[in-house]
Structure 1
């Protein structure tokens, strides 16, 4: 019990001593100078420029990709038409051969 009473009294003294110490006044924030503000604005403008350039490059890459896909589709269609024409020619030749053989 004596130890408990001693610790409570010691806590009381420490609490009183802490309450009496003066609080340290907060240092007032110094306003940013105009030069610093201008520098921050310039940094933001540079970042925005880089970002917009990246968007433009991405759009250009997409456009190139679309045109290459369209060219590939057109080429594939043309090749399909060529093979279709070849098949038609082969059928016509086969019919002509059959007719020639039949007429002999």
Structure 2
């Protein structure tokens, strides 16, 4: 009887261990997701920068036109 009790105890321990492992896995997944989000944000920022650059370019063009 005590032997079976220790066995169930070890089983619950392994179960908690697997649970902690899944939790760490979900945490790593959320971290990768935040990383991808920051990457998309930097990409949008570069895009806005290129847009402003094209706008300045068109502005200079219009300036030369008026000359």
TM-score range, shorter chain: over 0.9
2:5 alignment counterpart: 41
Give the Cα separation in 2 of the matches to 1:100 and 1:64: 54
Unaligned runs of 5+ in 2: none
Give the Cα separation in 2 of the matches to 1:88 and 1:62: 39
Q: Which has the larger radius of gyration?
A: 1
Residues matched between the structures, number: 67
Matched, 1:71 2:27: no
1:62 alignment counterpart: 26
Ranges of 4+ aligned residues in structure 1 off by more than 3 Å? none
CA RMSD in angstroms comes to 0.8
Once the two structures are superposed, the pairs formed by residues 1-104 of structure 1 within 5 Å of their partners are 37-103=1-67
Deviation at 1:101, TM superposition (A): 2.5
1:30 alignment counterpart: none
- Where 1:85 maps in the other structure, the secondary structure is helix
Deviation at 1:51, TM superposition (A): 0.5
Give the Cα separation in 2 of the matches to 1:43 and 1:101: 87
